[in-house]
Amino acid sequence: MIDKKAEILKCGKELFSSKGFKNTNVAEITKMAGMATGTFYNYYNSKEKLFMEIYMEENAKLKKSIMDSLDLDAAPMKVMMDMLAANFKGMSSNPILKEWYNKDVFNRIERNFHEENGLEHVDFLYESFIEIVKKWQEDGKMRNDIDTEMIMAIFSAITNVDLHKEEVGLKYFPDVLQHIGEFVMNGLMETSGSLRS
């Protein structure tokens, strides 16, 4: 017996990867899966819901591979800069994750995600990374006068800068991202006392 949800997921991923989110419709997905269009709605309310599930799965895989590749014993600056570079490369090379850069598409997807998870949800998806930040704080390598969740939100903000690379200018963007990362990390590695001279 065919697992219909798994088949929809597989066909959706294949079509979203080859045609993009906007150019893929539910009828095409179910046709490829060999089932009636109505069957789709037994498992997903919309194309957005299916895409978001696939996107989150791909994003989690990328983040895990990045975390596995990092030398977590290196200096915090190196760890963070390596992570930013690997994230940018991974997002740009994966056709599903690349939809992050399509503002029209991702605004719809993100709205859908926040409706389900709440507006306050910070989706940085480096869940294990928060423990590393806490350790840096305990070891005096990173400021502990800033809440760990706030630091994670700051890191999330850096990863969101790549949504604005056209406005920044494609010529300057890679260097701008590098500098922002360095400035933020330098600020976070300052001791709280040295900031209040």
pLDDT 10s digits, 33-60: 999 999 999 999 999 889 988 988 998 8
Tokens of 141: 């390598």
- Give rounded-to-5 percent helix, strand, coil for the chain: 70, 0, 30
Instruction: Give the pTM.
Output: 0.79
pLDDT 10s digits, 111-167: 766 666 655 554 545 667 888 899 999 999 999 999 998 998 888 888 778 777 778
Domain that holds residue 3: 1-44
pLDDT 10s digits, 113-127: 666 665 555 454 566
Say what the pLDDT of residue 126 is: 61
Verify that 22 and 87 share a domain, yes or no: no
Average pLDDT, the chain: 84
Q: Say which CATH number the domain at 107 has.
A: 1.10.357
Distance CA 80, CA 88 (A): 12
Verify that 89 and 173 share a domain, yes or no: yes
Q: Count how many domains the chain has.
A: 2
